[in-house]
Structures are given as structure tokens and as C-alpha cells.
Structure 1
Amino acid sequence: MHDSGHDEGMNGRGESAGGVHNDLGGTVEGTSVQVGVVHGGIHLAASTSRAQQPWQLPPVGALVDRVADLEALQLFLRQAEDVGGPAWVVITGLGGVGKTVLALSWLHRLRGDFPDGQLYVDLGSQSPGGPVAPAQALGSLLRGLGVPAASVPGNDEERMALYRSLTTHRKLVVMLDDAFSAAQVRPLLAGGRTVTVVTSRWQLPGLALDGCSALRLEPLEVGAAVALLAATVGEDRVGAEPEQARCLVGLCAQLPLAVRLVGARLASRPDRSITAMVRVLGEERGRLDALGLQGDHTVRATLDVSYGGLPPHAGRLYRLLALQPGTEFGLSAILSATGDIVRHDGRTMESLETLLDANLLSEGGDQRYRFHDLVRLHATVRSREEPAGSRSAAIRRIFDYYLASATRAEEVLDPHHRSLPRDFGPGPTACEEFADDSAALDWLERELPNMMAVVAQAHGLGLPRVSWQLADAMWPLFTRRKHYEQWRVAHREGLTAARESGDPAAECRMLTSGGLGELDTGGHGQALEMFSDAAELFRRTGDRLGVARATNYRGLALLGLGRLDEAATAFRQAAADCPRYGDARAGGLARLNLAEVALATDAHTEAVAQASTAYRILVDEGDPYNAARATTVLGHAALALGRLDQAARHFTQGLATLRRVGARFEVGRVLEALAQLAEACHELSLARTRYEEALACYEELRVPAAERVRAHLVRLAQAGDG
């Protein structure tokens, strides 16, 4: 809510103006005239008077938060004063983020230090008639400085020279609001000891070459946005519904303009609860419309004018990027949306820069891009202008990029996993390439939110096979990085999609892979049911190898339920049947599971035998990850048998491989085992170090094992105190 502030009057000092340009290329300095060759009559403009000092800045309401931004502006001012030059600052950011309010608030505060006046020009970058021309803006500034309209030079260069002459010896501030380009602003930069602040939706990088400092304004923090809402609707209403108030400003994406608009709507409806407004704005499809306020600006209008100023190709990119499944995306995903992944004709990159300059898109590190939440909604609305065929083709290309790249990562990380086909559209299909396991795993983790969005959306868009195939391709990420909730959700969605596709093999894969995720989260009963359903489906389709694999999985669920004898029986059956039906590696995994049962029943010699056999099979089958797991089982057995040196060798060997493949959970387990080994050797300091390293792994993954390790550390600390 704005104050009813007003500008103060003139100070009445009648000192001489700096100089007024004449028709002959000279300047008037006080009462003297300096000219070149005189031809004909001399026409002198009347000198200006300090009695005509401008105080043009519009009033501004209270500024909420922005402490750090104000400090940054003050720093820019001090730096300029240190070198004795003008301070030129460009404040950029999304429309409605509060650029103008920040600039006005700061410049009003500087009034005491800049007593010669305040100039203000709206450069109208988004006005229906187009941006204000530099010559027109210069004329306005000169008139503000007291130059009569009839005496304003007609030549652009002369106007610029006169403006700089008149500002050279003055301490004044200038605000150039809503600039369109660096070329529009450059002639308007005042000299001397002035302060010029430019606001723009565009980043105007060209002004940096002229010495302008830049400040990008971000949306408010949640607390500050709530304070802004309270200033509009009243502290009592916000205090009565604090959580809903936080939710409401979140729906506004903490944009000051949006918060003020919904606050004004609430203020005009004293009987409406904040909860009711949250419900209105919660309907994403209509959120931008709901933010409208009769007779005032709207978020949609703010975004519409930015969109309307885009060149056609940039406008198309804006619409297509709204089809991205997640909130942050990389360059390859952008090129996939446009189909330029093969052509590389440069138009997409040019349009991308245009969107960045317009602040319709934000750039992070490593060529990552994202929409502000409300911009994404606006782009989504505008995407409906794209022809249906173009939209569908772009969506398929984007989805295929994630599917192809995840599949490539799967091949690098776990070449034994995929036995099911992948289906792609007509293309072109982009695909990432990975130098090693670490790069593949990092890509999967970075793109996890986008891939989860594809899994969820593909089914509803008539692409169910993409849904289950992508869930399947993410398998190495789930097994190594333990994103349990995403694991569960992806396979639940994938199972529905596989059943809709009428694909029994895909259905079985979703049941077994999803069941393994349930095992990791303690859902052994649910996992057993899923594995049993898969086994029955394999039997009905005559897939004997599938039955054998499902038997191994059933053994894992039985092991988790404490039914050790039944688990051992299932593992022995799988160890015999899997190689018989063509999967020696699965047989090796079954033997590894038998070794785990032997450890649990203190049959340590049996554990060594089974783990050794499993290790040889898995090495022969080219499975270093599970071979390393077999090595750690050998380490546990050796530790239990008191063979400490042997245990240390096994654990160290396994740890090196598990670290190399990025298996953080398994790394944590080995570090925990090394801590136990250190305790057995009475090396308590080393034990604490190993437990702390294990705890870091578990805390990063947010797994229950962290509590167990914390208990060990407490025990060691108490032992040390004793």
C-alpha cells in the first residue's frame, strides 16, 4: 500500500546554471559566450535558474525488506564517489518484482546528499506505442532542468551534449524507468557527480561496457512477502491465518506486484478468508486471471507486454519451453523442444538470449535455465497458441531426450539391467553422452525432477510406454542414490502405464523393480506381494527365467520378514534356475543373497563359500558393483571369524569400487564396517572417524541407518568420557 507522499517545493537558490547550448556549436557559461566562427545572428537560450530545480520522482510507499539490495546500491554509490565520477546503476528483474519501488525508495533517501534535484523519465519499453526515443527522453530531461521547450536543440547530438553540460556540476539523481535497450539509455547517462538509476525487464548487458553497475532483483523472501500482505490486508487477518498467508504469498511466487494484487482483493472483501483466496489461486490454470484487479495492473498484463515485445522466433521458444516437464532444464532439452538439436541454425540460441535479456527466463550455472513460477504459468497459457501438431511433436522430442539420455546412462552404469526395448518418436532425438559412471550418475540425479515429471505426465498424454520405460531406465540411480520416494512413485506410475499398454513384460519389470524399492524402505510385506504377482504373471506367460528371478526377489522379502529358512530355500532355487535358463549373473546374485542369510545365522564359513562363488561369477559377468558387494560380505565374515587383516583387505577393496561407481549407501555400509573393525583393533579415534564418514553418507541419503551410527558415536563418546 502506497503512502500519500508528496514532493517538496523549490529551494529558491538563484545560482547560475551550468551552461546552455547555442545554435553555433558553443556553450553559454554564466554570462560569457564561447563560440566558433560566427555566421549571422546569435540566438542564446535563456539561462536556467536553481529556483527551477526539478523534484520529479513519484511518491513511493514503504519498502518491504530489500536490505541487502539497498546495501548493494549504497556500495555502488561509494565506489563511484571514490573515483569522482557519476554513479550509473541498472536494476533488472521480472516485471512486478519491485524494481521501480526499490529505485524510488533509494533515490528518495538520497535527497539530502543530492540537493540539486530529481529527474524522472518513463522510457516506456512496454507501452503500446513503443519505447520512448532517446531524443524525446532528452527533451524531457532538459525541460526538467529548466531549458524552455523552444530552446531545446533539435539535433540529437546537441541535446546530449547540452544535457551532459547541465549535469556536470550538479548533484542530482536521475531515474530512467522501464528501459528497453542499452542504445536507448546510453545518451541519457548524466555526467558529473550525479546518480542515474535505470530499471528494466531486460538485462541490458551492453551498459556494462559504459561502466554501469548491475543489480538483479529477485522475488521477496517468504517472510517479507507476508509482511507486504499484512501491510495491505491488516496484521490481524494475517495473524489469524499465518500458514495460509505463507501459502498465499507462495502461490504469488513472492512477487510484490502479485502479493499487492491479492492483498487488494482481500482488503476489498473483508469477509473473505485468506484460506478462500488460497483455494482460488490454487487452481493453477486460472491463477493468472484470479490475480487481476479491476482498474489496476495485473500480473498477466505485466507478462503480456513483455511477451508482446518478443520477436516471433523468441515468442515460439517461450511457448515451447512451457512444455518442459519440470521447472529447470538444460540446453539440450531446450534444443529438443525446438527440434534444433540437429540443425543448430543459431536461431534457438539467439531466441534464448532474447528471453534471458527480457527476464522471462533465468540462467543458472552449467547452462541451466528456469522460469519464474508465474512466468511459467503465463507461458503455459500462451503455449495454447501453438498449433496442436507442433505442441505434440515438441512434447515427444522433449520426452525422448530424457528417455534416450537416461537409457544411455543406464547402459553405462548397469549394462546388465535393460532387457526391454525403448520406443522413440520420429525425432530428431537428443541424447547425452557420458565419460564415465560418475558423469552418468550425476546427470541422472540432476535431471531426476524432470524425469519424474515425464513419468507422471506421459501417461495422461497418451504415451504410457514412455512412462514405464523411463521409470525402468532410472534403476541405477535408485539403487545407488536411494531416492526412495521417487523410486516408489515412478514404479507405481510405471505399473499403471504398463498395464494400460497391455505389456506383461513391462508389468513384471515394474513389479519387481518397484518391489525392490519397497524392500529398501522396510515394506517387506508389500514387496513380497509384488514379487508374488510378478512370479504368477511370468508363469502365465511361460517365462521360466522370469519366474526364477522373481523367486530370488521373493527370497529378499522373506529375508526382510525374518523368515530365514524360507528365504534360503528361495535363494537356492534361484541360484540353480537362473543360470539354467540363461542368466548366470542372476544366479551369482542369488548366491550373494545366500551369503547374507549365512551371515545372519552366524554360519560364517558358509557365508565365505557363497560370497566367494558369487564374487567370481559377478566378476566374470562384468558386474563390478555387485562384485564389490560380495567383497564386503567376505569382509564381514572375516571380521566375525577374527581374521582382521583379511577383513581390512576385503573392506578396502570393496570401498574403492563402490566409491568409483557412486554407490553412496553401500559406501556408508563399508565405512560403518571399517569403524567396527577399528573398534576390534582398539583404534577408537579411527573408529570415530569412520563412523562420522558413514554418518555423512547416510544423512545425505536420509536413511534410517543414520540413527544407528549416531548411537555408535554416542557410545564411543561415553566410553571416552569414562
Structure 2
Amino acid sequence: MGRDGNVVGGEAQLNGPVIQAGEVTGGIHLHGAGRQSALPVPRQLPPLTAHFMGRSDDLAALDDLRSRHDGHSAPLIVVSGPAGVGKTALVTRWLRDTDEAYPDGHLYADLRGHSPEGPAEPGEILGQFLRALGVGPVPAGLAEQAALWRSVTANLRIGIVIDNVLSAAQVRPILPGGSRGLTVVTSRNRLTGLGVDGARVYHLGVLDPAAAEELLSRGVGRERVQKEAAAAREVVLLCAGLPLAVCLAAARLAARPQQPLRALVDALAEDRDRLEELTVEGEKAVRSGLDGSYAVLSEGAARLYRRWGLLPVRVFEVRSAAAVCGVPMRVAERLIDALLEANLLEESGPDAYRFHDLVRLHARERGFLDETDDARSETLRRACDWYLATATEAQRLLTPIQLTLRRDFAFCPEGLPLPFDDETGALEWLAAHRLDLLEAVRTATGQGWYDTGWQIVDAMWPLFLRLRHYGLWIEAHELGLAAAERAGDRAAERQMLNSGAIGFTSAHRIDDAIDWYHRSLIAAREAGDVRDEGQALHGLGTCHREAGRTGQAVSYLSQAITAWEGCGYQRGAALSRIIVGEIALESGDIDRAVDCFSQAHTLLTEVRDPYDAARALAFLGYAHTLGAGPRQRAADAGADAYERGIGELREALAVFEGSGATHWRARTLELLGRSAQHHGDRAAAREFYERSRAAHLPHSPDEAERLAGRLGDLGG
């Protein structure tokens, strides 16, 4: 443009038409310099699937996020979730009815975050958006494109969907200017980096069972689903609430109208084939989506993903990540963060993580495909060793006197902090991981690591003793005994027989318990192990007592006391005296019972076994309260005995409450209730029985039912 105002050989690169001439004189008037009048208002949202449903809570949550923006900039919302969960469908449905709120249009772009050809460049998307608004030519450089884009959108009321994003860096240049629009980003990753740009993140979960079943009905036909309702529910369960998986299952069934739904259940039920079955038009849609998420992981995160996939457990923690990968805790935390960011992992509690069911199958598949045989074996061995080491430390805290057998490690998890620091924490860890520990036993024995198998069972002893999961107790010891036999370790065999027989006794399977104790007695005498012989005799005594054969019970228990005192094992002799005291109590011989319990309590205190000392004290207190009958309580001596007994019971109760020993807490509460009932205090008896029943209920339903009977007998 010359000084006289003429345009010479120029080209205007603004929002309007291009003027090109050798020389132009006079005024120039341009009309419609904004969007070219021939272009319609862009409405680029993808078509809404006819099967969208069951997301009312999610739609309301997005409404709430949009309403809470500060007004200084346009709302930026990230909808995050795993592949196939329905992020695009949700966002499309949400924005479909907002034409009035965004009269300048809806723009949509797929950034191809996980496509084989690689993600889209921001400049490519900016060019599409600018041209859709009638702006051109588009500058070549990204910085100029972004600046022009912000200028164009500064005053527009426009809704923008940026779909399938890989990283925050992809999004930032595409963020519009002004404060009147809305930008929604979808990603398999959490895109926490967009937090600095004011993003609010919404994590989209799977469908609930009712919505997933309705989705299946729409694809297959309601009548067909209702006809095979049970099979339909199983299909939905096997699809794990993932909308893509349910739609693929529905498409397969719709293409086979004569095939019963049960046939698909059978096909999906085999875990190794489930991803293979979820295909559409020959494309493995679910697997492809997960493959894309896996492909962009760092090497370390991908390794953790597939190694965790190889483990036969459902919940993981930072320490197990460090153990199976052989890395420090701080590194394991970063790897977990990467999997969380990629939405391949879910948090299920403090330091607790899990895979979605179909993701778990994919992770296991990658473990078999991408890890060598040696690496897979090492992964499983590292996990088993970690469970063994941690359970052993729990045992060392809870029952140190019973930690007598050796521990062997191929990969000792050195340097990893324990997940507990006191007895309560140790018992809580054992309880929370009881099924994982059983799976570790199965894995170890299945791999031929027999010593590891029985050692894990041995380390679980405090769990069995204090929480009384009878089915778990028995199954673990059956596996542990077989492992000890295969390992050829006779001492371990006797340990498995003795501690397993206690489980049979506690579960009232007396014949099985007697069989195991007899086998243990024979093995102990063959080995010349007097201490183990005493254990077997003690066990036979408890079994015959349980069966009502008190004469035989006392005979075996007396032999056990003699054997144990002969080899200097005073703790064992004390435990047998507790049982003899119980038998005396039941026969009404209070003086003998008090003598047995007193001796047992003194000995167990001397050998520093506070748990069993508290058991002896609870029985001693109960015996004292029975010795002080209602008539005797009228005298000072009777009253003193009763108060002394109640004090001893409460002291024992405090030990069990402090250590988390649920079974004996419940037993002691029952003894308090029986003492109160014996002395005519029905209100106190009812309170103690109710507390005992509540303590039994989660772990011992049969005991809880027995307590309910006591409450019924109490009346009122």
C-alpha cells in the first residue's frame, strides 16, 4: 500500500476475499469480511448412536462441571476413560441439544491419538477449524495459526470437541480465545497436564448391569433377551460393562438370530478367547483399542502392565509393582502413575489398583506375547517371594514364637518397606490379602516351587488362628501338605498336618482332624521328635473333647503335657492345660479349672505369648465368676471373686481388641454374657451376646447363628 492510500500489487490475507491487481485507485469497500456467506454454521458433531443410553448421571455431572467455570475463560472439560467406554458418544449426546447455547457452531476433530499412522498435528486441526469458519488462507506456521484461531474465536459462542487426544501438548494450540465457548476433550489418558490450563477432568466409568443389559436388548431384541434372561445377564457380566464390548456381543448375536445366547456365554467364558470373540466385521475392536493404548506406553510402564497381567490376583499395590519389576518404590510409583494416566489401571482404594476385566485379559495376553518364558517365570517367582516375605514379617509380629521353620527366597525383596508397622496393621494386611496369598500358594506349587508353597501356608498361621476363615484354612493346608510331601521336607509335613488338623477341628470336621493328627503322631514318632509328638497328642485330645469323649480327651492331653514337659516345651504344656481346664469347667469342677487356667496363664506370660495368655486369662476370669454364685456374692469374698473375674475377662478382651483377634474377641464377649446371665443380669447378658454375634457374623456365620439362639433363649 502506497503513501497515497492505493494498494499496489497487494494481497489481503484477512478474513475476507482476496484482491489482486496491478494498480487500484480509489476507495475500496469490502462487505461480509467475516465468514463467507456461502458457508453454513458448522455443526460437525458425529452422528449419535441409536444405542446410547444409561448415562443420565454422567450427563448431569458434565452439566455441573460446565456451570462451575469462573467466567474468565471458556470452560475446558476433559472426559477421560479406557478404550470402548463411550467417551465420544457421551460428549456427542451432551452437546447435541446445545444449538442455542452455541449459535456460532459445533466443531469436531479426531486427533487420532492411538491410531497406527500416528496422532494428528495441531496445525492440521487448526486448518480444518479455521476453514470451517470461513477463514483463509491459513498461515503456514503453527504459532500464526494458533494466534489467528484465538483472534477468530475471541467473541464466538462455539462448542468444540477435540476427540481421541494423546497428550496435553496436542490440545494447547487448539484452545480457543475468549470466554463464551466450550471445549471438550476426550482421551484414554487423564491429561493431568491440562490442569494448568484450567481443565476439569471427568472420568467415565463402565455401564451398570441394568444399563448394559438394556443396551444388549436394543441390539438383539427385547423378546430374545427376556427369553434367555439368565444367559443375557452372563453376557453382560463377561463384557464387564464396557459399552463397546456389549455392542460387539449384540452385533454377533444379531447376525446369528437362531443361535442361543448361551452359545455366546460359552464362547466368552474362556478368558483366553474372550478378546478374540469380541470382533465386528472381522476387526478385533476391543483388542485393537487396548493395543493402541499399550503401544504408546513407556518401556517401563508397558513392562509393569504385562507383568501385573501375568499375576493371578485382582488387586495390586506399589510394593508388588516394585517386587515384580525389581525396581525401587519411587520408580514403581511413576510406572503406576503412567498406567493410571493411560486409563489402563483403576484406583480401588489407598495403595490399591486393579484392571478392568477386559484390560486384565489384554495385559495377560501381552505378558504371554511380549515376555520370554524365563521372564514370565521370574515374574511369578518374584511375586510369590514378595508374598512370602511380607506374610512372614506379619507372622513375626503376631506369633513370633511359632515362626520356627526356614524361609527360602529366589528373589528376596530387599529394600521394600513393609505395608504395616504394628500387630493390627499386620493382621489387617493378612486379612485383605488372604485370597492373594492362597493364589500365591497355588502358583508356587503349580510351578514346582514346593518349598515356597508350604512356607507361604506356614506364614499365614496368624490369619487362620485369629480370624478363623475355615474354608481357606483347610484348602491352604491341603495344598501346603502336598507341597511339603513333594519337597520331601518331613518337618514341614508334620507342621502342615498339625496346623491343618486344627482347622478341621475348628470347622467341626472331627474325623478329618483325627486322621491328620494320627498321621502326624506316626510321623513324629518315626522322626523321634517329642515336641511334634506332643502337638499331635494335644490335637487328638481336643478332637475327642469336641466329639464328647472327655475320658479319651483327658488321656491324650495328659500324655501331651508329659511329653512337652519332658522336652522343656512349657508353652505346649500350658496350652494343653487350658483344654483340661475347659473340660473341668464343663463338669462343674471349678477348683480344678481355676488351677489349670492359673498355671497356663503364668507359663504363657513367662514365655511371652500374650495372645494365648489372654485366652487362659479369659477362661480364668469366667471360672472365677462361676465360682462366685449369686448366694456367695452376698458375702464379701464372693463379691470380690466376681469382680475379679469380670476384671480378668475385660483385661483379656482388651488384648483381643488391640490385636484384632476377632474370633477370641467374640468368644470373650460371650463369656461375659454367660457370666452376666449366670448372675441374673439379663440386660448385660443381652448386650454382650449381641456384641459377640456381631463380631462373629462376618467370619463365622454358624457361630453367629448359635449366639442368636442364646439371645432367643434369653427371652424378652
* TM-score computed with the length of structure 1 as normaliser: 0.89
Query: 2:622, 2:672 within 8 Å by CA — same for their partners in 1?
Result: no
User: What letter corresponds to residue 671 of structure 1 in structure 2?
Assistant: L
**In structure 1, distance between residues paired with 2:234 and 2:664:** 39
Matching of residue 243 in structure 1 with residue 230 in structure 2: yes
Which residue does 2:386 correspond to in 1? 401
Quote the offset at 1:302 in angstroms: 0.8
Give 1:126's match in structure 2, choosing from 114, 129, 137: 114
Which residue does 2:448 correspond to in 1? 462
Query: 2:381, 2:444 within 8 Å by CA — same for their partners in 1?
Result: no
Query: Could you list the per-position Cα deviations for residues 389-428 of structure 1 after superposition, in whole angstroms to 9, with x for gaps in the alignment?
Result: 2222222122111101111110110011122111110545
User: What letter corresponds to residue 645 of structure 1 in structure 2?
Assistant: E
**In structure 2, distance between residues paired with 1:401 and 1:315:** 21
Which residue does 2:435 correspond to in 1? 449
**In structure 2, distance between residues paired with 1:121 and 1:156:** 17
Which residue does 1:13 correspond to in 2? none
Which residue does 2:367 correspond to in 1? 383
Quote the offset at 1:235 in angstroms: 1.6
Which residue does 1:14 correspond to in 2? none
Listed as ranges, the matches of 1:496-511 within 5 Å are 496-511=482-497
Query: Could you list the per-position Cα deviations for residues 279-332 of structure 1 after superposition, in whole angstroms to 9, with x for gaps in the alignment?
Result: 111111222112223344521111111111122232222222223331111111
Which residue does 1:440 correspond to in 2? 426
Which residue does 1:515 correspond to in 2? 501
User: Measured at CA, do residues 409 and 73 of structure 1 come closer, stay the same or move farther in structure 2, by a change above 3 Å?
Assistant: same
Quote the offset at 1:707 in angstroms: 1.9
Quote the offset at 1:579 in angstroms: 2.3
Quote the offset at 1:85 in angstroms: 4.4
Query: Could you list the per-position Cα deviations for residues 519-558 of structure 1 after superposition, in whole angstroms to 9, with x for gaps in the alignment?
Result: 2222122211221222122223332221211110111111
User: Measured at CA, do residues 24 and 702 of structure 1 come closer, stay the same or move farther in structure 2, by a change above 3 Å?
Assistant: farther
Which residue does 2:48 correspond to in 1? 60
**In structure 2, distance between residues paired with 1:686 and 1:651:** 14
Listed as ranges, the matches of 1:76-475 within 5 Å are 76-80=65-69, 83=71, 85-148=73-136, 151-190=137-176, 191-341=178-328, 347-384=331-368, 385-429=370-414, 432-433=417-418, 434-475=420-461
Which residue does 2:7 correspond to in 1? none
Which residue does 1:18 correspond to in 2? none
Quote the offset at 1:209 in angstroms: 1.8
Quote the offset at 1:652 in angstroms: 0.8
**In structure 1, distance between residues paired with 2:697 and 2:438:** 23
User: What letter corresponds to residue 421 of structure 1 in structure 2?
Assistant: R
User: Measured at CA, do residues 48 and 272 of structure 1 come closer, stay the same or move farther in structure 2, by a change above 3 Å?
Assistant: same
Which residue does 2:633 correspond to in 1? none
User: What letter corresponds to residue 391 of structure 2 in structure 1?
Assistant: A
Query: 1:551, 1:573 within 8 Å by CA — same for their partners in 2?
Result: yes
> Could you say what the CA RMSD is over the residues aligned between the two structures, in angstroms?
2.5
Which residue does 2:642 correspond to in 1? 644
Query: 1:123, 1:131 within 8 Å by CA — same for their partners in 2?
Result: yes
Query: 1:53, 1:146 within 8 Å by CA — same for their partners in 2?
Result: no
Query: Could you list the per-position Cα deviations for residues 196-238 of structure 1 after superposition, in whole angstroms to 9, with x for gaps in the alignment?
Result: 2111010100112211111111111222222211221122222
- 695-704 vs 425-434, which moves further: 425-434
Give 1:692's match in structure 2, choosing from 690, 693, 699: 690
Query: 1:323, 1:395 within 8 Å by CA — same for their partners in 2?
Result: yes
**In structure 1, distance between residues paired with 2:496 and 2:622:** 32
Query: Could you list the per-position Cα deviations for residues 340-386 of structure 1 after superposition, in whole angstroms to 9, with x for gaps in the alignment?
Result: 14xx6x65443332222111122343322222221121111111221
For residue 340 of structure 1, give the secondary structure of its aligned residue in structure 2: coil
User: Measured at CA, do residues 531 and 166 of structure 1 come closer, stay the same or move farther in structure 2, by a change above 3 Å?
Assistant: same
User: What letter corresponds to residue 284 of structure 1 in structure 2?
Assistant: D
User: What letter corresponds to residue 642 of structure 2 in structure 1?
Assistant: L
User: What letter corresponds to residue 605 of structure 2 in structure 1?
Assistant: V
**In structure 2, distance between residues paired with 1:312 and 1:657:** 49
User: Measured at CA, do residues 25 and 648 of structure 1 come closer, stay the same or move farther in structure 2, by a change above 3 Å?
Assistant: farther
Query: 2:534, 2:559 within 8 Å by CA — same for their partners in 1?
Result: yes
User: Measured at CA, do residues 431 and 510 of structure 1 come closer, stay the same or move farther in structure 2, by a change above 3 Å?
Assistant: farther
Which residue does 1:541 correspond to in 2? 527
Quote the offset at 1:712 in angstroms: 4.2
Listed as ranges, the matches of 1:518-529 within 5 Å are 518-529=504-515
**In structure 2, distance between residues paired with 1:616 and 1:60:** 77
User: What letter corresponds to residue 409 of structure 1 in structure 2?
Assistant: A
Query: 1:575, 1:590 within 8 Å by CA — same for their partners in 2?
Result: yes
**In structure 2, distance between residues paired with 1:43 and 1:133:** 34
**In structure 2, distance between residues paired with 1:577 and 1:681:** 40
**In structure 1, distance between residues paired with 2:689 and 2:98:** 57
For residue 238 of structure 1, give the secondary structure of its aligned residue in structure 2: helix
Quote the offset at 1:267 in angstroms: 1.4
**In structure 1, distance between residues paired with 2:406 and 2:458:** 11
**In structure 2, distance between residues paired with 1:202 and 1:631:** 58
For residue 156 of structure 2, give the secondary structure of its aligned residue in structure 1: coil
* TM-score computed with the length of structure 2 as normaliser: 0.90
Where does the alignment leave 5 or more consecutive residues of structure 2 unmatched? 1-9, 18-27, 630-640
Query: 1:167, 1:192 within 8 Å by CA — same for their partners in 2?
Result: no
User: What letter corresponds to residue 666 of structure 2 in structure 1?
Assistant: G
Quote the offset at 1:632 in angstroms: 0.9
Quote the offset at 1:184 in angstroms: 0.9
Quote the offset at 1:679 in angstroms: 4.1
**In structure 1, distance between residues paired with 2:148 and 2:98:** 25
Query: 2:430, 2:460 within 8 Å by CA — same for their partners in 1?
Result: yes
- 633-642 vs 194-203, which moves further: 633-642
User: Measured at CA, do residues 112 and 513 of structure 1 come closer, stay the same or move farther in structure 2, by a change above 3 Å?
Assistant: farther
**In structure 2, distance between residues paired with 1:709 and 1:27:** 86
Quote the offset at 1:27 in angstroms: 7.4
Quote the offset at 1:123 in angstroms: 0.7
Query: 1:332, 1:430 within 8 Å by CA — same for their partners in 2?
Result: no
User: What letter corresponds to residue 402 of structure 1 in structure 2?
Assistant: Y
Quote the offset at 1:336 in angstroms: 0.9
Query: Could you list the per-position Cα deviations for residues 50-99 of structure 1 after superposition, in whole angstroms to 9, with x for gaps in the alignment?
Result: 7521111111223221222111111012213x746422211111111111
Percent identity (aligned):
38
Which residue does 2:23 correspond to in 1? none
For residue 91 of structure 1, give the secondary structure of its aligned residue in structure 2: strand
**In structure 2, distance between residues paired with 1:42 and 1:312:** 61
Query: Could you list the per-position Cα deviations for residues 688-714 of structure 1 after superposition, in whole angstroms to 9, with x for gaps in the alignment?
Result: 433332232112324322123334445
Listed as ranges, the matches of 1:515-594 within 5 Å are 515-594=501-580
**In structure 2, distance between residues paired with 1:194 and 1:713:** 66
Give 1:665's match in structure 2, choosing from 663, 666, 669: 663
User: What letter corresponds to residue 401 of structure 2 in structure 1?
Assistant: H
User: What letter corresponds to residue 366 of structure 2 in structure 1?
Assistant: R
Residues matched between the structures, number: 680
**In structure 1, distance between residues paired with 2:702 and 2:201:** 46
**In structure 2, distance between residues paired with 1:27 and 1:645:** 97
- 594-603 vs 50-59, which moves further: 50-59
User: Measured at CA, do residues 44 and 532 of structure 1 come closer, stay the same or move farther in structure 2, by a change above 3 Å?
Assistant: farther
